[in-house]
Structure 1
Amino acid sequence: MLLIQMHDDQDNFKTVGNDHYQVVNKPFDIFDEEKSLNMDYRSWVVQFDLDHGWICSTDFGTPLGHEFANSTSSVDLTSVYNPDEDSFYLMFAPSDSLYQIKNCVVERRFKLSSVKPFTYLPGFYEKNGRNRSWRNNPKSASNISLTYDPVNKLYLRVVLVDVEETQPEETDILLRQGLNRNTYLMLIYDQEWNLKAEVELFYDVGQSFGEIIAAKEGLFITKPEQKSEDEYEFYKIDLSRFADK
């Protein structure tokens, strides 16, 4: 039996044919007393159809060391689909490795470049009696988004590079939201994943990085502060200056 805990991020559930679907898995077990991730896990991407069930699953291990076994970042994966080339890419939050996957087979694995190298560290796992808690390491970089710009034929990678905890004593996940100052790096790549540019983004206390949406008109990013929960406002990201002419 194959247990699926589906990621809810962009492109982590997609149609790959008639009644044929692909899912990116998130195998984090909060009830395991010793470790929350089986470091031998290999079924990160699976495909199924409505008539025959499971079709295939990947067979590659995590690029992370065993020190990440109780870190929630170990199963934070982000992916992107390029419809122009029918190509799908996947990467782990605490790693520079990018996987190109087709029909559950890794066709290519390579490391994405950046001007400044990133440091990836496992998160914190704490036990207090029957209570347990997980939180990310504020000193660790984290890949949080991959997006394809169909207008300018570019890839956009967003990495959380610095977290300033204004109230580090607060451990409650819900209460801690919005208390940090976060710095992100937006990296722009061409279709061969060659680095074109890097742009730094700063989000102050009370601001949050939402999501980047790819549309036929280009890319849009949610504003860091919203006036209402019922109506979202966006900025348009213009990457035309980085496009190949």
Structure 2
Amino acid sequence: MLFESINFSLVFFAFCAGLVDATVGGGGLILVPALLYAYPQLNIATIFGTNKAVALASASSSAIGFIRRVSLPWTLIIPTMLSAFLFAYLGAISISVIPKTFLQYAVFVLLIVMAVYTFLKKDLGHVHRQIQMGKKQIVSGICFGALIGFYDGVFGPGSGSFFLFLFIKVFAFDFIHAVAAAKLLNIATFIAALIFFIPEGHVIWSASMYMVLAAIIGAYVGTLVAFKYGSAFIRVFFLLLLLFLIGRMGYQLFF
């Protein structure tokens, strides 16, 4: 009976994670704690691997919905995806040697900077500007893709938000186009991490199947919400997510 209740709770949390992921990312912040509670005996790599499997399904579902509706600069997206893929794999295989505390403090500071900047720039992400995608932009995409991809492979929370902020701030996307691009990069990083996690047995397949279906449904609902309410809604949701991330990570670091 307990096993069944835990499964149903995970299905619910997977749905919520898919819903959040489809708009601003950060679904792992919902699902990872739920997995830790349900499976306290498992090591962190298995928790992360299971979360990546569910997140891949969620991101793929929402990406299909976004790509059908928006046009993206593939000359920028493809090399950035490849860079993120490679470095996410390197991050995944480094999961046991990179000090987590250092990453947590660095990410905590970056989240505060992102939140303050997004709050002060009221027009951020409201207008989609078509900038010329030359060599400079592509190199920037590759470098940022490598940094965020490595972080996603070795740790992960908030990586979708970092990708979202990257496309808005650096490449002048609006929130809708930025979410679409961020989904594609997250798909690349999730696949790369799973290439390491799956052969090592770090995915709980018996639980993943239920959560995958729930996450796909959540992502579908989240995509509909994003297109119905537009960039202004996503900006507010993005700020709320950043505040949640800052609060949760700050509590873990200082209390």
Normalised-by-shorter TM-score class: under 0.3
Where relative contact order (Cα < 8 A, 6+ residues apart) is larger, the structure is 2
Instruction: Calculate the TM-score normalised by the size of structure 2.
Output: 0.23
Rg larger in structure: 1
- Structure number with higher helix proportion: 2
- Structure number with higher strand proportion: 1
